[in-house]
A and B are shown apart, each in its own frame.
Chain A
C-alpha cells in the first residue's frame, strides 16, 4: 500500500472505489446505484468546470469567509513551554465550523443537478446547521436527520437548523446518535432519490461522498499553506498538524495539501474520541485497532463485534461519536502517513478549560480532543517545533454540557 505523489488523496482510489485496495468502495442497495452514479458523473464534470470553480471560490470567500485566521497561542505556548502552539481558527467560518464547506458544495451540486430537495445527517448539529444554511441560501428544501440523544445535547444547533427553515427528523433507533442518523438519512434517500439529493456530513459513506466532502474541506489546508509561508517565510522544518477525527472531514481538509511533504517535516496526528475514562465504550476505531468492516456503504475500520454488528459508541462529543471513520484515514493509517491516538472525555474537558483560560478561543468539544493531544506533547518538544491545531468548531453548541461538567460556560 502506497500513497502516490502529486495526486489528491480523494483521487487515489481504484476503479472500484477502494483506497489501498480495501478501504472505501460503494456498498449500496441497487436503488441507489443510479443516483450515486449520477452524482459521481456530475461531480467529475463540475470539478473541471471553470465556472463551477469560480462559483465555489466566490461563495467560499464571500459567504463562508475564507481565509479563516491562523494565530499563535502565545499564552498557552509559554504556559506549557516546549513547542509553539498555533491554531487554524476554522470555527470563524460562517456558521461556526468546517462543515460549511461540504454543505455549500453539496447545495451547489444539488442545484446544478436540478434537484430541489436536500437531506443530510448530523451529530453535533453543525453538519445539519450548515446544510440548512446553504439550503436557505440556495433555495432548497431541507431535512436533517438527527439522533434524539444529540437533539437533546446540542440544542443551540437544533434551534439554528429550525430557524433556517429546515425540518429536523428525530431518529429513535439504536443509540440515537450520529450512526443512527446516517442510517435513517440513507434510508430516506433510498425512498426519495428521484427528487432528493443527499449530503453525507463527513468523509464517510459511499466513495463519491468521501470525495465530494474531501474536495470541499481541502480549502482549509490550501489557506493554511499560504498562511504558514507568509508567517514563517517558508515551510518550517518541524510541523505537527493535530486534528480531531470523527468521520475525518476536518482532518482531511487540514492535511490534504501537505500529504506530499515528508512526515519528518509535516506530521499528521489524528485524535479520536476515547470516551469516558472508565468506560469500555469509545468512538476510536483507528487508535483502538478496530477491525475492517462495512458501514454506511464503505469499508473502513469499524467498532463492531465478532458477528459484524456495529458497536455502541460513547463520547462527550456528539461530532466524534461515530463507530466508523473515513476510508482515507484508514489508508493514511496503514501507509503510516498519519498517526492516530485518542483523548478521553475528561482530557478533552481539561483541555477546553486550559485553552479558554489562556486564550481568546472557544473550541467545541471536538477540537478540544485535538487540543488535549497538543497540550500533552508540547512540553516535551523543542521550541522550533510548530504545533498547529485545527480549531474546527465553536463551543456555543456545547454550553449545556460544559456548564454541567465544568460548572461554568
Chain B
C-alpha cells in the first residue's frame, strides 16, 4: 500500500528520532497574502501544516486563536480563500502535508461531498473537525478515506477507555490527543509527565498509528514532550502574529523565527 504524505512525514521524523512538528495558523490571518507567506516561510521547519478556517462562534478555541479567526473574518475571509491558499502553497517545490481544521457548519454549508472534492483538488491531505466527534463523524470519515484524505480523530483526557479503543480502531493513520481539559491555548495545567503517561497508554492501543499532542504547547514546554510522535503548536503562533501587528513588526519574519526556535528544541 502506498504511504500517505502524512504517514511519510511521520516516518521521516522517526528516522530522525524526533517528533513531528505541526503548526496551526488561521487562513487569511493577518491577511490572505500574508498567511500564505507565513506558510511558505515556515514550511522548511515544519513537518505538517495545520490551517484553520476561522469560524464566528468557535466553541473550543481560546483567546489567541479566536483573535486570529475574528481578524481573518473581519478581513473578509471566505472558505474559498482557504482553498486558494492551500492551492498556492502547494505550488512550492517541496511542500509539506496540509491539514485543514475548523467547525462543521462551514463544511455543512459547503456540502460535505463538494468540500471533500475541493480539498482533494487543491491538495489538502487531512481534516480535523472540532465539533464532529466520533461516532457522529463515522460517515464523514469514511468519505474522506475514499478520497485518501486523512480524517483526524480527536481524543481527550475525558475520553473513556472503551471509547478510546473504538475511536482508535476507526481512525486513520493520525490521531490528535488533546493534552488537558482546555480550549486551545490554555496554560498547560497538567505536567508534561502526566500528559505523556496518558499519551503512552493510548499509544499502546495501536502503536502503528501516529499520535500527536496539542493544546497549550509553547517553546517553554515543547522539549519536555518530545517523545511523542508529533507536537502541535497553534495559539503560541497566533499570539506571535498578534504581537507582531501590535508592535508594527513583520509577522512573517517573527513567526518564521519562532518556528525555527521550536524546531531547534525538539531535534
A residues touching B (Cβ–Cβ < 8 Å)? 16, 25-35, 173-174, 179-180, 183, 186-187, 190-194, 291, 293-297, 302, 304, 306-310
Partner pick for B181 among A16, A25, A191, CB 8 A cutoff: A191
B11 within 8 A of partner (CB) = no
Q: Which residues on the B side are within 8 Å of A297 (C-beta)?
A: 59, 131
From residue B99, how far is it (CB to closest CB) to chain A in Å? 16
Q: Which residues on the A side are within 8 Å of B61 (C-beta)?
A: 187
From residue A302, how far is it (CB to closest CB) to chain B in Å? 8
**In contact, A33 and B133 (Cβ under 8 angstroms):** yes
**In contact, B108 and A294 (Cβ under 8 angstroms):** yes
B24 within 8 A of partner (CB) = no
Interface string of B52-72 (1 = CB under 8 A from A): 000111111110001000100
Q: Which residue of B lies closest to A306 (CB)?
A: B109
User: In whole angstroms, what is the CA distance A186 to B79 when docked?
Assistant: 25
Question: Which of A190, A191, A296, A306 is most buried by chain B, counting CB atoms within 10 A of its CB?
Answer: A190
Q: Which residues on the A side are within 8 Å of B59 (C-beta)?
A: 28-29, 183, 186-187, 190, 296-297
**In contact, B110 and A187 (Cβ under 8 angstroms):** no
From residue B162, how far is it (CB to closest CB) to chain A in Å? 11
Chain B facing A: main interface SS: loop
Q: Which residues on the B side are within 8 Å of A194 (C-beta)?
A: 158, 181
From residue A289, how far is it (CB to closest CB) to chain B in Å? 15
Answer whether A34 and B136 are a contact pair too, CB < 8 Å, given A191-B182, A191-B186, A309-B55: no
Can you name 21 A-B residue pairings with CB atoms under 8 Å? A30-B154, A30-B156, A30-B158, A31-B158, A31-B178, A33-B159, A34-B159, A187-B58, A187-B183, A191-B182, A191-B186, A192-B181, A293-B105, A294-B131, A296-B57, A297-B59, A304-B105, A307-B109, A308-B103, A308-B109, A309-B56
Q: Which residue of A lies closest to B153 (CB)?
A: A30
Answer whether A29 and B60 are a contact pair too, CB < 8 Å, given A193-B158, A304-B109: yes
User: In whole angstroms, what is the CA distance A27 to B110 when docked?
Assistant: 17
Interface residues of B in 73-107 (CB under 8 A from A): 73, 78-79, 103-107
User: In whole angstroms, what is the CA distance A309 to B108 when docked?
Assistant: 11
Partner pick for A25 among B79, B136, B160, CB 8 A cutoff: B136
**In contact, B109 and A30 (Cβ under 8 angstroms):** no
Q: Which residue of A lies closest to B183 (CB)?
A: A187
User: In whole angstroms, what is the CA distance A276 to B106 when docked?
Assistant: 28
Answer whether A28 and B133 are a contact pair too, CB < 8 Å, given A33-B159, A295-B105: yes
**In contact, B136 and A294 (Cβ under 8 angstroms):** no
**In contact, B160 and A27 (Cβ under 8 angstroms):** no
From residue A161, how far is it (CB to closest CB) to chain B in Å? 23
**In contact, B131 and A33 (Cβ under 8 angstroms):** no
**In contact, B133 and A30 (Cβ under 8 angstroms):** yes
From residue A115, how far is it (CB to closest CB) to chain B in Å? 14
**In contact, B56 and A174 (Cβ under 8 angstroms):** yes
Partner pick for B73 among A183, A190, A294, A309, CB 8 A cutoff: A309
Q: Which residues on the A side are within 8 Å of B202 (C-beta)?
A: none
User: In whole angstroms, what is the CA distance A294 to B104 when docked?
Assistant: 7
B195 within 8 A of partner (CB) = no
User: In whole angstroms, what is the CA distance A70 to B37 when docked?
Assistant: 66
**In contact, B181 and A29 (Cβ under 8 angstroms):** no
User: In whole angstroms, what is the CA distance A297 to B136 when docked?
Assistant: 12
From residue A209, how far is it (CB to closest CB) to chain B in Å? 13
Q: Which residues on the B side are within 8 Å of A190 (C-beta)?
A: 59-60, 181-183
B132 within 8 A of partner (CB) = yes
Q: Which residues on the B side are within 8 Å of A31 (C-beta)?
A: 60, 156-158, 178, 181
**In contact, A29 and B133 (Cβ under 8 angstroms):** yes
From residue A141, how far is it (CB to closest CB) to chain B in Å? 18
Beyond A31-B181, A183-B57, 20 additional contacts (C-beta under 8 Å) are A16-B136, A26-B133, A26-B136, A28-B133, A29-B60, A29-B133, A29-B154, A29-B156, A31-B178, A34-B159, A34-B160, A191-B182, A191-B186, A294-B103, A294-B105, A296-B57, A304-B105, A307-B106, A307-B109, A310-B57
B46 within 8 A of partner (CB) = no
Q: Which residue of B lies closest to A308 (CB)?
A: B109
**In contact, A293 and B60 (Cβ under 8 angstroms):** no
Interface string of B103-124 (1 = CB under 8 A from A): 1111111100000000000000
From residue A293, how far is it (CB to closest CB) to chain B in Å? 5
Q: Which residues on the A side are within 8 Å of B147 (C-beta)?
A: none
Q: Which residues on the B side are within 8 Å of A173 (C-beta)?
A: 66, 70
**In contact, A308 and B132 (Cβ under 8 angstroms):** no
**In contact, B183 and A308 (Cβ under 8 angstroms):** no
Answer whether A27 and B158 are a contact pair too, CB < 8 Å, given A174-B57, A179-B57, A296-B57: no
B155 within 8 A of partner (CB) = yes
User: In whole angstroms, what is the CA distance A187 to B63 when docked?
Assistant: 10
Partner pick for B163 among A26, A33, A179, A307, CB 8 A cutoff: A33
From residue A7, how far is it (CB to closest CB) to chain B in Å? 24
Question: Which of A174, A186, A308 is most buried by chain B, counting CB atoms within 10 A of its CB?
Answer: A308
Partner pick for A308 among B105, B134, B136, CB 8 A cutoff: B105
**In contact, A308 and B55 (Cβ under 8 angstroms):** yes
Q: Which residues on the A side are within 8 Å of B158 (C-beta)?
A: 30-35, 193-194
From residue A371, how far is it (CB to closest CB) to chain B in Å? 31
**In contact, A308 and B57 (Cβ under 8 angstroms):** no
User: In whole angstroms, what is the CA distance A291 to B136 when docked?
Assistant: 21
From residue A275, how far is it (CB to closest CB) to chain B in Å? 18
